[in-house]
Structure 1
């Protein structure tokens, strides 16, 4: 990612973050009257961060050379950034200050050790797969193949969840909270793009999605960032019906860029019978294969 692009990302990110905060939310006096900007003014952000307006203006323009951690912390607090957004801003600043960085492809790792596959296969009560930071699904266990059969039903190798969510019409039926998963997918890719700015494979994927999906483009331009860590995903499976499953994303320390994602039946779920049918489908598919 060229330095100019990183600076533009910094500008857009900071502008979008201050646009979402009102003076009242920031604890500033609101004197009424018509405001010419959405959210906070630059001067108000500077006041909250205890820096000069000129200093903040330079930062918002992407001129972040030599900026201290203390200033970034103050700015993050002023803009009410969450942990993911703080990490994203720090990654953008690092990228802007390392313009000649070599191509970084660790997020697009595709090799999965045999022992990891054995771990997945041992998870008989959970659907589990390994993905990289590009959202490529690399290996799965039996139950995950049954759960995600539509997403895996593609000529792309490896299958990619961002392509499925944003480009495949089946995804809008499969995910009962499609807006949520679309937000998470786009936010995850933007987070990774800042973390590995020299990653040409990721840049190619993003360019493809921008070209093919207006929905992706609108969400990408919002500059929201996200980590897919844990929560509940609500599915409408084509074979067994509705499923509410708890998910956990577990990074593999020995394999940077790779994450095990598991789905288990939510506690007190009304979909116990549907999950049992999914397990039975998985066993039948395995036996027929």
Structure 2
């Protein structure tokens, strides 16, 4: 079964992505939630019917059926927006649907530029200038491309994998014992990582490295297969991350994630703690430990 699933994930088929995403979002909404009367108690479909979505979106049933079969190439932004409203999509889901539509309109299946796999020297200098907080740069595939010294110390369990670039998704799904110990909210993390990879697949479905990563995870992890099949998507956003570091213990960190406009596809993430908190003391202890352990970055720092 694993091999068959891996073969299936060797490509990301845009029409299938569209079909499964729209049908999964339609299935979760009841007529009552959509403000529609539910005639009869024995509905044969879960959630809304296609004709009900078409009614809510203001398009013909035939038009919406074509959309849900994977054809978004001719749909205007206005129609996409109307369907997103009818399906009550959140911000990430709406963005994902627009990404899928734009990819459908690309002439001849045109491929976008691959996400960056190196980091400019100036960005590495920015990281090293952040001395009191862990900071690193990743791409949409969760490849760790550059770190500062505190990030290398904080994420030492993730970076223990000798493969470079280290990859957070591989750590979460393929080194589950270590990941469960490191991430206090592991169950939430596994959902978020798959959802953000799904979001990246909508942005760049022809990224061969992403396709290979998804195939590897799907072949090796039943948990990933379950989360990937949910069709959920998430945006990289600020928030809180709770970690259990093997040296300094529990850290409850504030996370700020920032896209880098000059380097499309790259994300700078900085982890901080309010002054006077237990976590701030833990970061200070981590800095002392890192200073005693620091050695060359084992390929994490990328010269550009």
* Shorter-chain TM-score range: over 0.9
The one-character-per-residue Cα deviations of 1:108-159 (angstroms, maximum 9, x if unpaired) are: x122111111111111121000111111001111110111001001121110
User: Is 1:137 equivalent to 2:144 in the alignment?
Assistant: yes
Kindly state the Cα deviation for residue 270 of structure 1 after the two structures are TM-superposed. 4.2
TM-score normalised per structure 1: 0.93
Q: Which runs of 5+ in 1 are unaligned?
A: none
Kindly state the Cα deviation for residue 106 of structure 1 after the two structures are TM-superposed. 2.8
1:62-101 counterparts in 2 under 5 A? 62-98=70-106, 100-101=108-109
Shift of the 266–54 alpha-carbon distance from structure 1 to 2, 3 Å rule, reads farther
Shift of the 179–105 alpha-carbon distance from structure 1 to 2, 3 Å rule, reads farther
1:141-180 counterparts in 2 under 5 A? 141-169=148-176, 170-180=178-188
Q: Tell me the equivalent position of 2:132.
A: 125
RMSD: 2.2
* Displacement over 4 Å in runs of 4+: 1-4, 266-270
Q: Pick which of 62-71 and 98-107 moved more.
A: 98-107
Kindly state the Cα deviation for residue 225 of structure 1 after the two structures are TM-superposed. 0.9
Out of 110, 113, 118, the residue aligned to residue 111 of structure 1 is: 118
Aligned pairs, how many? Answer: 288
Q: Aligned with 2:240: secondary structure?
A: strand
The one-character-per-residue Cα deviations of 1:234-273 (angstroms, maximum 9, x if unpaired) are: 1111111111101111111111111111111157744333
- Structure number with the bigger relative contact order (C-alpha 8 A, sep ≥ 6) is 2
Q: Tell me the equivalent position of 1:201.
A: 209
- Using the alignment, how far apart are the partners of 2:215 and 2:19 within structure 1? 20
Q: Which runs of 5+ in 2 are unaligned?
A: 1-8, 298-304
Kindly state the Cα deviation for residue 276 of structure 1 after the two structures are TM-superposed. 2.5
Q: Aligned with 1:106: secondary structure?
A: coil
